[in-house]
Amino acid sequence: MSERLLNLTLHVWRQNGPNDTGRFETYRAKDITTHMSFLEMLDVVNEELIEQGKTPIAFDHDCREGICGSCGFMINGVAHGPQRRTTACQVHMRQFEDGDELWVEPWRAHGFPIVKDLIVDRSAFDRIIQAGGYISIRTGSAPEANEISIPKHTADKAMDAAECIGCGACVAACPNASASLFTAAKISHLALLPQGQAERQDRARRMVAQMDAEGFGNCTNHGECEAVCPKGISLDWIARMNRELVRAAFKSDASVESSAAKGV
């Protein structure tokens, strides 16, 4: 509760567009209270920039309560900043000390081209979901909900995987810019549930192929993704994705079809 005032030096990555080379520019953030969120601190800097006739720092943000997944950038080399299991919008300035020097950089990955300043294009994630991250169910054709019984433990596990907010911090933090954690979370969420069985093999194959096609790196088990994930998505899901893919690879089309026909 006790409030402090901070004076900070910000080094912020400024880049006009995807083709601009980009550079760090230095700003002073004066009289920042520790109750501000990191984004509110940037708001204050931006409002000053506008009043001085300069272009404000562009950054993605929306809900500002850690669930939409819009925000995210590197603060001093860590995706979403110093607080574990917290998105950039929920990081508050009490995490910092007066006189701190902060380096603010966008996610950097071949699969996430920079749009402007701290904004990157994460549409690759959408395309990975489009490749099969769903259950093909026609609106209105669903059976009565309680006809499908799912053990509580399984439902809870599926929920653990489903909590991913698609912010991209996993890619940003991974030394290989791999999208494995994101892809694995969705594959696992749907593979765990009985509703997801019919398309299970096909989904794993297609989503992994799309992940590769987007130019993301592969998982070399550093665990950086899990460490920065604001929702604490576990590395174990990646093991599960690998297993799903291997299993899919050794199931022939015929067996997939027959298991689908049997409703297994």
Partner 1 sequence: MQRALTLHQTTIGKKVIMALSGAILVGFTFGHFLGNLNLYRGSEALNGYAETLRALPALLWTARVVLLVAVGAHIAAAYSLWTRNRKARGSRYEHHKDLATDYAARTMYWSGPILLLYIIYHLLHLTILPAHPGDVYRNVVEGFQNPLISGVYIVGNLALGFHIFHGIYSAFQTLGINHPRFNAYRRDLAIAICAVITIGNLSFPIAVLAGLVTL
Partner 2 sequence: MQLRANEPTGPIEHRWQKHKETGKLVAPANRRKYSIIVVGSGLAGGAAAASLGEMGYKVKCFCYQDSPRRAHSIAAQGGINAAKNYQNDGDSVFRLFYDTVKGGDFRSRESNVYRLAELSVNLIDQAVAQGVPFAREYGGLLANRSFGGAQVSRTFYARGQTGQQLLLGAYQALCRQIEEGTVQMFPRTEMLDLIVHDGRARGIVTRCMKTGRISAHIADMVVLCTGGYGNVYYLSTNAKGCNVTAAWRAHRHGAAFANPCYTQIHPTCIPPAGTYQSKLTLMSESLRNDGRVWVPRHKEDVTKRPEDIPEKNRYYYLEERYPAFGNLVPRDVASRNALYVTNEGLGVGPEVDGERRGVYLDFSDAINRLGEHTIRERYGNLFEMYERITGDDPYQKPMRIYPATHYTMGGLWVDYNLQTTIPGLFAGGECNFSDHGANRLGASALMQGLADGYFVLPFTVGNYLGDVRSLPALAEDHWNVRQAVRAVEERVKKLMNAPDPKHAPEHFHRKLGRIIWTKCGMSRNKEGLEEALEEIPKLRDQFWREVKITGTGEELNQTLERAGRVADFFELGELMCIDALHRNESCGGHFREEHQENGEALRDDENYSYVAAWEWTGNSAEPALHQEPLTFEYVKPTKRSYK
Specify the 3-state DSSP secondary structure of 51. helix
Residue closer to partner 2 (CB basis): 150 or 249: 150
Instruction: Please answer whether residues 21 and 15 qualify as being in contact, where contact means their C-beta atoms are separated by less than 8 angstroms.
Output: yes
Residue 262 interaction partner, one of partner 2, partner 1, none, beta carbon < 5-8 Å per kind: none
Q: Which amino acid is at 153?
A: H
Q: How many other β-carbons are positioned within 10 Å of the β-carbon of residue 55? A: 12
* Residue 237, φ and ψ in degrees, nearest 5: -65, -30
Using rule CB under 8 A, residue 260 touches partner 1: no
- CB of 130 or CB of 220, closer to partner 2: 130
Q: Which of residues 81-110 bind partner 1 (CB under 8 A)?
A: 103, 105, 108-110
Least distance in Å: CB of 105 to partner 1? 6
Cα 66 to Cα 24: distance, rounded to the nearest angstrom: 27
Binding partner of residue 217 among partner 2, partner 1, none, CB cut-off 5 to 8 Å per kind: partner 1
CA dihedral 117, 230, 162, 254 (to 10 degrees): 70
Residues 121-180 within binding reach of partner 1 (CB under 8 A) = 173, 175-178
- Separation CA 216–CA 182 (nearest Å): 11
- State in angstroms the smallest separation of the CB of 220 from partner 2: 27
Q: Which is nearer to partner 1, 190 or 219 (CB)?
A: 219
Q: Which of residues 214-243 bind partner 1 (CB under 8 A)?
A: 215-224, 226-228, 235-236, 238-243
Q: CA 6 from chain center: how many Å?
A: 30
CB of 4 or CB of 252, closer to partner 1: 252
Name 150's Cβ contacts closer than 8 Å, sequence gap at least 6: 158, 193, 194
Distance between CA atoms of residues 211 and 131, nearest Å = 9
* Residue carrying structure tokens 């790196």: 217
Residues of span 183-212 touching partner 1 by CB under 8 A:
201, 205, 208-209, 211-212
The contact set with partner 1 (CB under 8 A) reads 13, 24, 74, 76-78, 103, 105, 108-111, 113, 173, 175-178, 201, 205, 208-209, 211-212, 215-224, 226-228, 235-236, 238-246, 248-253
